[in-house]
């Protein structure tokens, strides 16, 4: 059985058995973790995967699980002791300016640049609700590239905003097409595979032809600057999910 909507899932929840597949959303954040664990424990398959669903909503989760793809020195800060330890290591390595990313905030609204670790510590120590967040060294110069990958479809473009270090296109930035190298495409697909993403919008920090890092990854994201339109992109994603759901369902029957 393949269920495609949350309404169908809830109406038949008690009837589910190992091998059934759910490919819809889990809209209630307060219930998402419990539902994911229960479905996994009962052998219900999900597309996108449970891991991708969790990472999609959590920058801290991404930084922890996809650390090997991210800028060296990227750390998840969950408490004051983590911040003090990270600050000590940064200072020892000569790192002064840093960027923090608030967990579960999108569109660059939770991204902040700090001129010093001391300023960051002084502010955060007065705001216990700031945790968790991701902290990483501030890069003075890199090329910000948005990559969209859905099956065989791939598109990449540079995002540049001289007036905003976040490179937001929505805040007056401009874009131009970017040609990914084979190595950069493989880099993206390996990060997707590790996170269980069937498709993804990835933000890369590219330093040169040989060096790039993953900034963020999401199942859905903005497409300002892309040549593909939202309707066509959504259909590609839905077709891919349908194909994966049928494969999983038939595999269990086989």
Alpha-carbon span 174 to 226, nearest angstrom: 11
* 128 domain-assigned: yes
- The reply to whether 164 and 210 lie within a common domain is yes
* 58 domain-assigned: no
| Amino acid 2: pLDDT | 95
- The reply to whether 195 and 123 lie within a common domain is no
| Amino acid 40: pLDDT | 95
Sheet holding 111-114, edge to edge: 75-77, 133-137, 98-102, 111-114
- The reply to whether 149 and 218 lie within a common domain is yes
Rounded to an integer, the average pLDDT of 2-20 is 94
pLDDT surpasses 60 at 172: no
- The reply to whether 193 and 112 lie within a common domain is no
The CATH code of the domain that includes 176 is: 3.30.470.20
- The reply to whether 155 and 132 lie within a common domain is no
| Amino acid 249: pLDDT | 85
- The reply to whether 110 and 172 lie within a common domain is no
| Amino acid 109: pLDDT | 75
- The reply to whether 85 and 166 lie within a common domain is no
- Burial group, residue 177, by CB count within 10 angstroms (0-12, 13-18, 19+): exposed
Domain that holds residue 81: 72-137
Quickly state the pLDDT bin for 155 (edges 50, 70, 90): very high
Q: Give the tens place of pLDDT for each residue, 221-235.
A: 999 889 999 999 999
| % of residues, the chain, pLDDT over 70 | 94
Which of 113, 137, 161 finishes a domain?
Answer: 137
| Amino acid 24: pLDDT | 92
- The reply to whether 180 and 123 lie within a common domain is no
Rounded to an integer, the average pLDDT of 185-194 is 98
Which of 102, 122, 137 finishes a domain?
Answer: 137
* 151 domain-assigned: yes
The CATH code of the domain that includes 84 is: 3.30.1490.20
Rounded to an integer, the average pLDDT of 179-206 is 97
* 215 domain-assigned: yes
- The reply to whether 129 and 214 lie within a common domain is no
pLDDT surpasses 90 at 132: yes
| Amino acid 174: pLDDT | 83
Q: How many domains does the chain have?
A: 2
| Amino acid 15: pLDDT | 94
| Amino acid 254: pLDDT | 45
DSSP 3-state percent helix, strand, coil across the chain (nearest 5) = 40, 25, 35
Q: Give the tens place of pLDDT for each residue, 92-131.
A: 999 999 999 998 877 667 889 999 999 999 998 888 778 9
Q: Give the tens place of pLDDT for each residue, 29-57.
A: 888 899 999 999 999 999 999 999 999 99
* 44 domain-assigned: no
* 45 domain-assigned: no
């Amino acid at each position: 059985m393949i269920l495609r909507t949350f309404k169908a899932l809830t109406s038949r929840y008690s009837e589910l058995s190992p091998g059934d597949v759910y490919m819809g959303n889990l809209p209630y954040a307060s219930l998402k973790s419990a539902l994911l664990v229960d479905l996994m424990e009962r052998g219900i398959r999900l597309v996108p995967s449970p891991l991708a669903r969790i990472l999609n909503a959590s920058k801290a989760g991404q930084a922890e699980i996809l650390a090997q793809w991210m800028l060296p020195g990227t750390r998840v800060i969950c408490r004051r002791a983590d911040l003090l330890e990270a600050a000590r290591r940064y200072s020892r390595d000569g790192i002064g300016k840093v960027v923090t990313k608030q967990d579960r905030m999108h569109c660059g609204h939770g991204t902040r640049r700090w001129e010093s670790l001391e300023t960051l510590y002084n502010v955060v120590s007065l705001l216990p609700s700031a945790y968790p967040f991701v902290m990483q060294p501030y890069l003075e110069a890199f090329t910000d590239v948005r990559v969209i990958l859905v099956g065989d479809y791939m598109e990449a473009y540079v995002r540049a905003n001289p007036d905003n270090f976040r490179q937001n296109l929505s805040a007056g930035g401009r874009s131009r097409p970017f040609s990914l190298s084979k190595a950069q495409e493989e880099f993206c697909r390996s990060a997707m595979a590790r996170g269980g993403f069937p498709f993804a919008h990835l933000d890369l920090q590219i330093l040169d032809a040989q060096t790039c890092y993953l900034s963020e990854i999401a199942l859905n994201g903005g497409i300002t600057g892309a040549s593909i339109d939202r309707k066509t992109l959504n259909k590609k994603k839905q077709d891919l999910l349908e194909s994966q759901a049928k494969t999983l369902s038939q595999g269990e029957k086989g």
